[in-house]
């Protein structure tokens, strides 16, 4: 199974110390060089050197020149292109606009929250609530309303 990752979900997983979930679910995931460059330049995760070293091992350089998809950034564009190039199975992406574009291209997408829920269903995680709290604490872009709906759907207590 070929799994491609975009920047934002990787940052979310790093900041809540759950990059191991990705390793356990999709050990051979890939990301384009542009995603690596965004991660490497991101101030919030500079201190996570072990995680960044691990991620660097999963960089895949595009065979063709990068596409230009108006309205989304270079990392998202290259993630979509790499998915197409490698005929991947899943794209890990959170950005709403980029995900909409990808889905219009028949790309199967999953976001950070769905990844965490999948990890819980597979027994990798016991609970979601503490992680959802950490996502909010680290200013990741998820609404409390959505997080609470997902918690209820997964038989957990809502956030305060």
pLDDT-derived band at 109, boundaries 50, 70, 90: very high
Q: What percentage of the chain carries pLDDT values higher than 90?
A: 78
Domains (range + CATH), the chain: 3-113 (3.40.50.1010)
Match 């965490």 to its residue by tokens. Answer: 116
- Contacting residues for 128 by C-beta, under 8 A, at least 6 apart: 116, 117, 120, 150, 151, 154, 156
Q: In the chain, what is the greatest distance between 2 CA atoms, to the nearest angstrom?
A: 48
pLDDT at residue 35 tops 80 = yes
How would DSSP label each residue in 81-124?
Answer: HHHHHHT-SEEE---HHHHHHHHHTT--EE-HHHHHHHHHHTTS
User: Which has more pLDDT, 76 or 63?
Assistant: 76
Question: What was the pLDDT predicted at 62?
Answer: 79
pTM equals 0.92
pLDDT at residue 37 tops 80 = yes
Question: What was the pLDDT predicted at 28?
Answer: 87
Dihedrals φ, ψ of 109, to 5°? -115, 150
């Amino acid at each position: 199974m070929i799994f491609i990752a975009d920047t934002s979900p990787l940052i979310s997983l790093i900041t809540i110390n759950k990059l191991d979930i990705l390793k356990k679910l999709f050990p051979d995931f890939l990301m384009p060089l542009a995603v690596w460059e965004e991660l490497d330049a991101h101030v919030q995760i500079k201190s996570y050197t072990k995680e960044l070293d691990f991620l660097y091992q999963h960089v895949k350089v595009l065979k063709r020149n990068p596409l230009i998809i108006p309205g989304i950034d270079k990392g998202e564009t290259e993630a979509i292109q790499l998915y197409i190039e490698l005929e991947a199975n899943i794209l890990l992406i959170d950005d709403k606009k980029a995900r909409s574009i990808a889905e219009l291209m028949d790309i199967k997408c999953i976001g950070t929250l769905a990844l965490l829920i999948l990890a819980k269903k597979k027994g990798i995680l016991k609970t979601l609530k503490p992680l959802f709290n950490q996502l909010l604490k680290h200013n990741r872009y998820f609404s409390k309303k959505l997080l609470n709906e997902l918690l209820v759907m997964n038989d957990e207590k809502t956030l305060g």
